[in-house]
Amino acid sequence: MSDASLNASLIREDDASFGDYFALLKPRVMSLVVFTALVGLLAAPTGVHPVIGFCAILFIAIGGGASGALNMWWDADIDQVMKRTKSRPIPAGKVDKGEALSLGLALSGLSVIMLALATNIFAGAFLAFTIFFYVVIYTMWLKRATPQNIVIGGAAGAFPPVIGWIAATGTMSIEPWLMFALTFLWTPPHFWALALFMRNDYDLADVPMLTVTHGRRATRKHILVYTVILAAFAIATGFTGVGGPIYLAVAVVLNSLFLKGAVEIWRRDEDICEADNFKAERSFFKLSLLYLFLHFGAILVEAVLKPYGMGGW
Amino acid sequence: MSLRKEHELHTRRKGRNMGVGLLLAGFVVLVLALTVVKLTSSNFTFPKMDSEEQN
């Protein structure tokens, strides 16, 4: 290519770098997808060849990234008014909306076909359904229509361990759905805590977040109710096929801390929060990240130890 | 807008092109590895040709 092709009309000072395109794939969400899908794959009773296992995780991650790019394409208007999202590549003016759409569609097709070829059709179809669910059902339809948007979005984020399991076994069973339920029930308290201390963001974007539609008092109550259900479920999972003594010990400690945090959030009023800059909400949010990582980590440890007669019950 | 010989834009685009190139090369290696694993697995069988099925 000669410099003749770089005429003034084509030159953008903020021309996208490789990293900007990568940022469209929401790398932090992708890391959660990789980890939970890996746990689903390794907790499955049938072993997979390492190369096939690597391909499965890679294509599930690319599928997750493609959903992220399509989400950024659709939500570009609200991303530019929210402090948390206005530095994303589209609102920052580095990548065009059309480019995000093309990248998202191309990677969706690639990931679904390659996962089906590398593992089985069922896994590929389930990945396609997950992308459809996140982009069409959540992003396009329900995110701006209902205050329960977070609950629905949580379902999309909870599918990866199920896909990982199907990629390994080619069949469905109850165990991956226990992992699904763990992420699904964890998402609302995690995001509502964030909404409490990033409050102006969702107001400005006109997204019907629970804090806006039902008020902050109701959101605190919702966090507590979901945390109680989550804690009961997470501890009960310890007695199932994916659990074991290590998982149970981790679950008891983390859920006690999480419940304590939720009760504290429920008891606080806005004046106290303003005074300490939402200290309890921020630490609950941080704990929630550790919570999910350690629960899945414990499931992984149980699965890895099982062949040596140590994991599980 | 005039361009210096080594405009920052060149560096950025070079990085982008290198990134895409490496990804494509990685993808080729991955497909090759996957093919080898699939073909050498114990439960692999060649699909029957139509003419063979008729015989």
pLDDT of residue B54: 60
**What is the radius of gyration, based on Cα positions, of chain B?**
23
> Which residue in chain B is spatially nearest to A56 when comparing CA positions?
B34
| Residue B11 binned pLDDT confidence (cut-offs 50, 70, 90) | confident
Q: How many CB pairs under 8 A join A and B?
A: 32
Q: Let me know if domain A16-171 sits in CATH 1.10.357.140.
A: yes
Read off the tokens for A267: 């008891």
Q: What is the mean pLDDT of residues A192-201?
A: 86
CA atoms within 13 A of residue A260's CA, in its CB half-sphere: 8
The answer to whether A143 touches A149, Cβ cutoff 8 Å, is: yes
Read off the tokens for A197: 């201390």
What one-character-per-residue DSSP string does chain A give? --GGG--GGG--TT---HHHHHHTT-HHHHHHHHHHHHHHHHHSSS---HHHHHHHHHHHHHHHHHHHHHHHHHTHHHHTT-TTTTTSTTTTTSS-HHHHHHHHHHHHHHHHHHHHHHT-HHHHHHHHHHHHIIIIIIIIIITTT-TTHHHHHHHHHH-HHHHHHHHHHSS--HHHHHHHHHHHHHHHHHHHHHHHHSHHHHHHHT---HHHHTHHHHHHHHHHHHHHHHHHHHHHHTTSTT--HHHHHHHHHHHHHHHHHHHHHHH--HHHHHHTTSHHHHHHHHHHHHHHHHHHHHHHHHHHHGGGT-S--
Q: What is the mean pLDDT of residues B17-36?
A: 96
Residue B45 lies in a domain: no
Residue in B22, B24, B37 to test binding to A, most A beta-carbons within 10 Å: B37
pLDDT of residue A16: 86
Whether residues A11 and B1 touch (CB distance < 8 A) is answered with yes
Tens digits of residue pLDDT in A12-44 = 566 788 999 999 999 999 999 999 999 999 999
pLDDT of residue A232: 97
pLDDT at A187 over 80: yes
Spatial separation of the C-alpha atoms in residues A147 and A136, rounded to whole Å: 17
Residue B50 lies in a domain: no
Whether residues A11 and B15 touch (CB distance < 8 A) is answered with no
The answer to whether A180 touches A158, Cβ cutoff 8 Å, is: yes
Whether residues A51 and B37 touch (CB distance < 8 A) is answered with yes
Residues of B in contact with A95 (CB under 8 A): none
pLDDT at A60 over 80: yes
Q: Structural domain boundaries of chain A?
A: 16-171, 173-313
Whether residues A51 and B33 touch (CB distance < 8 A) is answered with yes
Spatial separation of the C-alpha atoms in residues A17 and A23, rounded to whole Å: 10
Residues of B in contact with A51 (CB under 8 A): 33-34, 37
Residue B22 lies in a domain: yes
| Residue A199 binned pLDDT confidence (cut-offs 50, 70, 90) | confident
pTM recorded for the entire structure: 0.89
Tens digits of residue pLDDT in A111-170 = 999 999 999 999 999 999 999 999 999 999 999 999 999 999 899 999 999 999 999 999
Q: How close A126 comes to chain B (CA, Å)?
A: 21
- The CA-to-CA distance between both ends of chain B, in Å, stands at 72
Spatial separation of the C-alpha atoms in residues A58 and A275, rounded to whole Å: 45
Spatial separation of the C-alpha atoms in residues B45 and A202, rounded to whole Å: 56
Residue B49 lies in a domain: no
Whether residues A11 and B9 touch (CB distance < 8 A) is answered with yes
Q: What is the mean pLDDT of residues A200-215?
A: 84
Residue B17 lies in a domain: yes
Domain count, chain B: 1
Burial B9-38 (b: 16+ CB within 10 A, else e): beebbeebeeeeeeeeeeeeebeeebeebe
pLDDT of residue A255: 98
Range of the domain at B27: 11-40
| Residue A207 binned pLDDT confidence (cut-offs 50, 70, 90) | confident
Q: Which chain A residues touch B if contact means CB-CB below 8 Å?
A: 3, 6, 8, 11, 15-18, 21, 49, 51-52, 55, 58, 117-118
Residue that the structure tokens 């669910």 belong to: A133
Whether residues A52 and B34 touch (CB distance < 8 A) is answered with yes
ipTM above 0.90, yes or no: no
Residue B46 lies in a domain: no
Whether residues B41 and A16 touch (CB distance < 8 A) is answered with no
| Residue A205 binned pLDDT confidence (cut-offs 50, 70, 90) | confident
Spatial separation of the C-alpha atoms in residues A42 and A48, rounded to whole Å: 9
